[in-house]
Structure 1
């Protein structure tokens, strides 16, 4: 069913802004093509293994720095040890525009890490904090393809209350400030929601998150 009531931007919590339809469909297609190319380079995307031995249900490919639970490396240490794919300048410019739009002011935002996550079927992401970065700069999250439920809560604990927000293709979420370390996750996809023709596979959600590592 098509969205009949316009969705408006909202401040979900101090430092957390949701802007629906921030990316045009053309911009989404460009990002999907890029994500597909990144996933084919080198050893490709992988299901990261947590310290408990469990494998994450999302597939991830990294740019700039390679993320492993819970650290960064310049090489794909849990794959073939090859250098991580470079972080493109145009993606950094997109991230800076996202933060400036979310906060309504010019910003000096220079992301150097991207995690490109692919969700299919019953893939989900448990509540967690993005705390491997040594910089306090915001996290930028861009949604492509299938809709999902995005859950965000306290920066202090995993317990509720939480806010559940439906994210559709093209949506932007920026979280920083007081909620830079907020627990957040994706408990489920929403397969019944309409998906624009932006190039994702049927039922696939691609999420691109941009961060500032603060690492040399």
Structure 2
């Protein structure tokens, strides 16, 4: 469903680009990436599958997405997808992965980050970035929880912009995210403006069989059952 790629990623070291934000490069090995790509293909199938999102201004987002657990729309969540079908359930696979991600990102400081020690993810959004797609700076404020957001990258790399919590303008930090990278942002960075400036076509490992970039963000909704 997502096509074929080319290229190959490199490796970097763990970093903390902002208080509460942790980048773990290459956190997912190639086998784990393949499994997630295969799972994304299944989640993307209709009903309640991959779709384009129209913003209240009338414009269409350049990324396509599929929601799991609850359906995201600008700016909230509901139980029914764009096509009227029930949203696909939140996969245990992602819940287990996200809890491990938060634990490994914060380590001994887990108890110092809001919502990290008791992290209970229940929703996810899978974004597919075709070549040329991007995402403007925004805050993840539609949840009713301040628990960390877990972000996993698959396929082509991208330039990810991590901003401040007050405005879409500077200061910000640009990060290169590659396939297999884990980015967790919580605590002071939980409501930071962030977005994707551009993708880096042709940088994915051909073994993934993926054209473009997939980004999986896992969250705790705080919206109850």
TM-score, normalisation: structure 2: 0.90
Residues 1:49 and 2:57 aligned together: no
Q: Which residues of structure 2 form unaligned runs of 5+?
A: 1-6, 111-116
Write out aligned runs for 1:1-216 (5 A): 6-76=11-81, 79-105=82-108, 107-201=117-211, 204-216=212-224
* Mapped partners of 2:45, 2:54: distance in 1: 20
* Mapped partners of 1:126, 1:142: distance in 2: 18
* Mapped partners of 1:121, 1:174: distance in 2: 25
Q: Which residues of structure 1 form unaligned runs of 5+?
A: none
TM-score, normalisation: structure 1: 0.93
CA positional deviation for 1:66 = 0.2
Map Cα deviations across residues 17-72 of structure 1 (whole Å, 9 max, x no partner): 01100001000000000000000131421111111011000000000010001000
Aligned partners of 1:25 and 1:196 also within 8 Å: no
Aligned partners of 1:96 and 1:108 also within 8 Å: no
Aligned partners of 1:33 and 1:199 also within 8 Å: no
* Mapped partners of 2:120, 2:206: distance in 1: 30
Equivalent pairs counted in the alignment come to: 211
Map Cα deviations across residues 82-134 of structure 1 (whole Å, 9 max, x no partner): 11000011210100000001101463211111000000111000000000000
Aligned partners of 2:179 and 2:204 also within 8 Å: no
* Mapped partners of 1:48, 1:183: distance in 2: 20
* Mapped partners of 2:41, 2:151: distance in 1: 17
Aligned partners of 2:9 and 2:179 also within 8 Å: no
* Mapped partners of 1:43, 1:83: distance in 2: 7
* Mapped partners of 1:113, 1:102: distance in 2: 20
Aligned partners of 2:129 and 2:213 also within 8 Å: yes
> What secondary structure does 1:47 align onto?
strand
